[in-house]
Structure 1
């Protein structure tokens, strides 16, 4: 089994070969990510007669969805099915009359500007929802076309998927966020055009800012990792991140945990239900940390429930300077021979190579050798 974490700036683009010639694509990063890294990789797979078994769009955020939209425009490879919770999966009766649709476009569906990374502009028919329909791709088939959410377990070939998030409360929180936006613009209880509302929904939700006070992090020079573990945990309250699809992949005797940008509280509850609380902690062969290693999405309680020796971190450290040192401290001090895999050579990687951090702690920092991300073999 191979996990390829492509360079996606501060976002996610992860290709998993979970069985020989069977692939899951988790998010697509920005358009730059797709054009420079994902497109050539997919063309190579397609040239060998391969296709993507599943594309998982964890949630609506520019650093996860923009590259997927461009991929769906190009279709360089066959896609059997897509898992993505769109407008139709959370919609209420709240919509707008035809004469106000231009207003919706101009005032809600504005282009998401992201420094150093090209994004997709919001325009009718260019949304992910419209492209899924246009390309005739099976959509959320495990849930019979409805919302992908926990608790849910289903087969994927010879593999098994356990959905951990979002749960019903997370979806309700996202709908509440969307309704408040509509109320603010006076657009409730009207008739509507679904394509415009796909646009409005995707591009306004993508601008939902993280609902926490992120750490102004300076890399610790104290080397006191146990002290860092005591830093107060503040949970992320972003509705968009809370709607993130996270899941366990079980195949060929391996168990992998992919956390998207999910809320730790939802994942904790799902893991306890799935594997029984008395059997904790739960062993995983690899864990992709939530929200690029943010301490607001990877709680001490979550770390108390999971054991792994491979931890995957997808970020270039821009925007919020992820990953957070308290997150890494909880991993390093867990008593396991840990391997921290980064898809960019971050300053924190160089810091953690210092001998002082290794006093009493057994861990390795693994960085990419080139500029094409990193591949982990499980």
Structure 2
């Protein structure tokens, strides 16, 4: 076996990765939707367990359904940390709403075991109004999922965010050299947290506070109960995921230079930008997992080159521009559903990635630009790999 294998799983419109190291330690980065876990991740974890592997870290980058839903199902089936049914998990990193945002001072003073009757009635009205505005099948953000995940961690005795004094995953140092010196050691890996920082978390908390004041007044109360989770889920679903809208480019215009500038450069929402971005180092191998976060917030802490870079947000252009200007990857990973739902990845992003010197690009599905990209390989000297589930490093 090579030093490590990145298992790049098909996850519909989500993310799901397992990094398997040659010492039988593994790291999971996101778990996709429930069917991703059932059809892809669970069989892999059973196989890894049979090989004598264990998961030293399961990292859930943020609470979007396409990253966390499969993780909930995994924890339910895996059972107690001390007697796992599928595979041993040593540590979990996850910044949920209830273990992160609601622990902040501005929210703690509002916590009640029982919410007052007036707010309860108002909650019922607001829930009804929001349900009319939002298609429940399309909601990407789930406070209910967040609470379920946190409760499963507690009930089954998993070590959640134990490497951090305040139990919140965040970058607290603004220097690359200090980040390297203070890297967190888990198993034989050294892990650097590049994002979020306090500013990202504060921005998301402020957004939440404003939404709650708008709906319930300055003296609103908070509760950990499921009905409040549902309400908060509906409020945060109004933070729409960035869509893709770009100029159509025909096969006859197949030059990468023509693809630059075709993106609308949609910005990430505050939930995405508060997600966890990590650099993982093992035996001199460096892997970067960018979640769905905008690299404007953390690219200055990157090193010059990585063995693997998982680009942000399924190949959307805006969050990756600064990353591509700052560093290169021997292997670039783009997690996408092949453009079936969200038209990811964007032409603009693909052109920027190749023209900035990244020559080996992997996709977990075939994509709509496959024909044009394959036709241009010799001209631009890059390699495209589609649906390869194991990438050896």
Q: TM-score, normalization: structure 2? A: 0.81
Equivalences for residues 268-283 of structure 1 within 5 A: 268-271=299-302, 275=303, 282-283=304-305
Deviations 1:63-92 (A, max 9, x none): 111111111111132211111011231223
Q: 2:199 aligns with which of 169, 176, 181?
A: 169
- Give the SS at the match of 1:247: strand
Q: 1:16 aligns with which of 4, 19, 39?
A: 19
Paired position in structure 1 for 2:314: 292
Paired position in structure 1 for 2:216: 186
**CA 1:204–1:14 in structure 2 vs 1: closer, same or farther (change >3 Å)?**
farther
| Alignment RMSD | 3.0
- Give the SS at the match of 1:347: coil
Question: Take 2:37 and 2:135, find their aligned partners in 1: how far apart are those partners?
Answer: 18
**CA 1:33–1:213 in structure 2 vs 1: closer, same or farther (change >3 Å)?**
closer
Deviations 1:90-143 (A, max 9, x none): 22325561655697589279995259x9x99948x9611111111111111221
Measure how far apart 1:172 and its partner are. 1.2
| More helix, by proportion | 2
Measure how far apart 1:20 and its partner are. 2.6
Equivalences for residues 319-358 of structure 1 within 5 A: 319-335=341-357, 338-354=359-375, 357-358=376-377
> Tell me, which stretches of 5 or more residues in structure 1 are unaligned?
276-281
Q: Does 1:27 align with 2:30?
A: yes
Paired position in structure 2 for 1:262: 293
Asked whether the equivalents of residues 16 and 25 of structure 1 are also in contact (C-alpha less than 8 Å), the reply is: yes
Measure how far apart 1:245 and its partner are. 0.6
> Tell me, which stretches of 5 or more residues in structure 2 are unaligned?
79-85, 174-178
Question: Take 2:369 and 2:334, find their aligned partners in 1: how far apart are those partners?
Answer: 12
Q: 1:113 aligns with which of 122, 128, 137?
A: 137
**CA 1:141–1:217 in structure 2 vs 1: closer, same or farther (change >3 Å)?**
farther
Deviations 1:134-167 (A, max 9, x none): 1111111221342211245211222211111112
Question: Take 2:340 and 2:235, find their aligned partners in 1: how far apart are those partners?
Answer: 22
- Give the SS at the match of 2:319: coil
**CA 1:70–1:213 in structure 2 vs 1: closer, same or farther (change >3 Å)?**
closer
- Give the SS at the match of 1:43: helix
Asked whether the equivalents of residues 219 and 348 of structure 1 are also in contact (C-alpha less than 8 Å), the reply is: no
Measure how far apart 1:181 and its partner are. 2.7
Asked whether the equivalents of residues 262 and 347 of structure 2 are also in contact (C-alpha less than 8 Å), the reply is: no
Equivalences for residues 211-290 of structure 1 within 5 A: 212=242, 214-216=244-246, 218-221=248-251, 222-231=253-262, 234=265, 236-271=267-302, 275=303, 282-290=304-312
Paired position in structure 2 for 1:89: 100
Deviations 1:217-267 (A, max 9, x none): 535531221243345773624001101111111111111111110112012
Question: Take 1:220 and 1:186, find their aligned partners in 2: how far apart are those partners?
Answer: 51
- Give the SS at the match of 2:325: helix
Paired position in structure 1 for 2:390: 375
Q: 1:140 aligns with which of 157, 161, 171?
A: 161
Q: Does 1:365 align with 2:384?
A: yes
Question: Take 1:98 and 1:246, find their aligned partners in 2: how far apart are those partners?
Answer: 39
